[in-house]
Amino acid sequence: MAEPQDSLLDKLRVALQLVDTLRTENDAYKQNFDCLKNAHERLQERHESLVHELETSNKEKLAVEAMHAEAAAHFKAQLDEKSKDLEAVRAAVPNPKDIEILRLRTVQEVELQNEKRWKALHKDTERYRTLYYALRRDHEIAKADIDRERAQITAKLSETEAVYQDEMSALETRMAELRTCLDTSNDPKRLRELQRDNTELQLRVSSMLPELEELRAEREKLHLDMEQASRLHIRKLADEVAHGKALQAEKDGLAVKLATAASESAETLRTLDHATEQVADLTKELDRTRSKLDEAAHLFKTQTSDAKLAHLKSQTQLQNKISELKEKITGLESQLKTGIETIQTLRARVASSEKDTLEKCRQAREEEWAAKAQLESEKSQLEAQLTTLKRTQFDAVAALDICRREAQAEITELRRAAREASAKCDASVKAASDAAAELERARAAMAKLETAVSDAEGRAGGLAAETEAKGREAIAMRADVEKLETDLQSLRSQLAQATEKAKEDATEYRLEIERIKAHWSRNKTSLSQKLEATTADRGRWEDKAHELEDLLAKSQKLFTSKVALVRGRAREYKDEINKLRKSLEVQTKRADAVAREIHQRQTDFLGLLRGEGVIDAAA
């Protein structure tokens, strides 16, 4: 009895030890499970943080790509705009060929303008040259003026030379005094003052030397001008003498013309008397022709009135015939309309009868063939009636055509009669117009005779007036001679103004050429500066675009490397998570196996206890 109890106690002790070991293992497994669970939660949180970081990095990538696209579009637009500006500037800047063509064109235009100006000046010079030969009347007065001016100029020159000599002698004496003072003086201040005076005097002398040269040149120029003016006045005097001789010849010619005009006036008086006699004869003949023309006009009026009455009568007859024919045509048209209406009614009847027969045929097709034959006979009768009606219609249309042709023939006959009547009327009108033209010709002949008489009277008066005008013309010539003398002075002033104007035009032309050259050079420099600035801007923008592209490439590379790094880390974390999951599954499987083993051992132990009787079956 004791041995089984000892063995049972040993078994219990072993079982308790097994329970303790199982509890410790279970606690260890529980701790391991808690550690694995905490690690799994940490890894899950880390995975979520990595996913969030990946999403933020994707958002940053999208934002960076959008910024890059926007910046690229902006800089591309700026680059396109600058390239367009550069192309516009290049288009605005002409090439050397265009510049050369423009230069040649401007030179040609300037040459044409100058040629026009020089032609105008040449014309003016020719005109003034023609007038120039009429400006030589006051030679003696001009010579006296020149002598007086020469005397004045020589007096002025002598005075200026005397003043210059006096000043030079005074300066020389002053210089000699200054030199003596300089030699004798020992005071440096006084010496400096004397040196200053010496330099001032030397400067004054050097400044007066060009004035002296100018005075000498002016004297020589005045001398040359005086000689030229004397030659001009001598030539002018010769021209004036020639002009006086020409005026004397004109005076003699006018006297001869006056004598011939007197003889012509006497002859015209004789012709005037003869013309008055002819006028009297022509007035008598004109009275006779007027009476004849009045008779012809009265006869023409009576004939035209008769022709108008006959024309009106024939016109009324033709209108009556035309109205009758129109009535006939309307009657025939009404008959035609009635015939057409009857034909249409018959056609409608035929159509209705055909419909009825068709309906009857459909109804009695299976009943009687005899009724069908009867209906066919009726149909043939109706068709015969229709053909007769069509024939009557055709006959009516033919009759209507015949009536129309007859009416057209009558209308053409009437029109021909009307044309003949109008031709007769036109002939009568033409005869009347011929008579009127003959009357006008007679009146024109009468007017010509009257104008001849008035011309003869006017010529007589004109000759008398011409003689008076010749006398007035001689007086006017004398006045013209005096006027020409007065015009000489004005022409001199005009000649001087013309020379001044020519000089001003030449200077203006030179200034215009210089201005054009300066403007062109300014434009050229400004265009070249703009071109250089645009090329520099384009280079700068291209450099900036390259820098941005490099920066974008670097950022893209950095972003891709960062994404790859994040993806690698995520992959590592996923691998680690998978490993942990696998280890967790293994541990859970092991824990389940251990739990099953423990449960099996517990059940075995309890079964053993029940089998030994330690524990009752109910427990």
Residues 504-537 have pLDDT tens digits of 765 675 676 677 667 666 766 766 676 677 667 7
- Counting residues of the chain whose pLDDT is more than 70, the rounded percentage is 45
Task: Decide if 524 is inside a domain.
Answer: no
Q: What is the C-alpha to C-alpha distance for residues 526 and 517, in angstroms, rounded to an integer?
A: 14
Q: What is the C-alpha to C-alpha distance for residues 21 and 218, in angstroms, rounded to an integer?
A: 147
Task: Decide if 319 is inside a domain.
Answer: yes
Report the b/e string of 81-115 with b at 16+ CB within 10 A: ebeeebeebeeebeeeeeeeeeeeeeeeeeeeebe
* Ramachandran category for residue 187: left, alpha or beta (phi over 0 → left; psi -120 to 50 → alpha): beta
In three-state secondary structure terms, 93 is coil
Q: Is the separation of the CB atoms in 577 and 58 below 8 Å?
A: no
* Ramachandran category for residue 94: left, alpha or beta (phi over 0 → left; psi -120 to 50 → alpha): beta
Q: Is the separation of the CB atoms in 31 and 607 below 8 Å?
A: no
* pLDDT tier for residue 619 given thresholds of 50, 70 and 90: very low
Q: What is the C-alpha to C-alpha distance for residues 444 and 447, in angstroms, rounded to an integer?
A: 5
In three-state secondary structure terms, 95 is coil
Task: Decide if 103 is inside a domain.
Answer: no
Distance of CA 459 to the CA centre of its chain: 65
| Residue 202: HSE in the Cβ half-sphere, 13 Å Cα cutoff | 7
Chain segment 50-105, per-residue pLDDT in tens: 788 888 877 887 887 888 778 778 877 877 887 787 777 767 666 667 767 777 77
Q: DSSP labels for 270-296?
A: HHHHHHHHHHHHHHHHHHHHHHHHHHH
Q: By C-alpha distance, which of 157, 72, 169 is closest to 547? A: 72
Phi first, then psi: give them for residue 503, nearest 5 degrees. Answer: -65, -45
Tokens of 109: 């235009």
Q: What is the C-alpha to C-alpha distance for residues 441 and 447, in angstroms, rounded to an integer?
A: 10
Report CA torsion sign: 97, 102, 108, 114. negative
Q: What is the C-alpha to C-alpha distance for residues 468 and 472, in angstroms, rounded to an integer?
A: 6
Tokens of 151: 């005397």
Task: Decide if 186 is inside a domain.
Answer: no
Mean pLDDT calculated for residue range 173-195: 68
pTM over 0.95: no
Rg, Å, the chain Cα set: 72
Between 513 and 599, the higher pLDDT residue: 599
Give the position of tokens 């330690």.
Answer: 614
Q: What is the C-alpha to C-alpha distance for residues 185 and 197, in angstroms, rounded to an integer?
A: 15
Q: Is the pLDDT of residue 460 over 70?
A: no
pLDDT of residue 79: 78
Task: Decide if 411 is inside a domain.
Answer: yes
Chain segment 136-169, per-residue pLDDT in tens: 666 667 677 777 877 887 787 788 778 777 877 8
Average pLDDT, the chain: 69
Chain segment 381-440, per-residue pLDDT in tens: 666 666 666 676 666 566 666 756 765 666 666 567 656 755 665 665 565 566 556 656
Q: What is the CATH number of the domain that holds 297?
A: 1.10.287
State the helix-helix crossing angle for 96-132 and 369-612, rounded to 10 degrees: 130
Q: Is the separation of the CB atoms in 50 and 573 below 8 Å?
A: yes
Domain that includes residue 461, residue range:
272-470
Q: Is the separation of the CB atoms in 531 and 89 below 8 Å?
A: yes
Q: What count of residues does the chain have?
A: 619
Q: By C-alpha distance, which of 536, 294, 276, 338 is closest to 438? A: 294
pLDDT of residue 114: 76
Tokens of 267: 């002859």
Q: By C-alpha distance, which of 288, 292, 289 is closest to 300? A: 292
Which amino acid is residue 369, in one-letter code? W
Chain segment 117-130, per-residue pLDDT in tens: 788 777 877 776 67
Task: Decide if 385 is inside a domain.
Answer: yes
pLDDT of residue 341: 74
Q: What is the C-alpha to C-alpha distance for residues 210 and 453, in angstroms, rounded to an integer?
A: 86
Highest mean pLDDT among 39-43, 392-396, 480-484: 39-43
Task: Decide if 127 is inside a domain.
Answer: no
Q: By C-alpha distance, which of 24, 37, 36 is closest to 598? A: 24
Count how many domains the chain has.
1
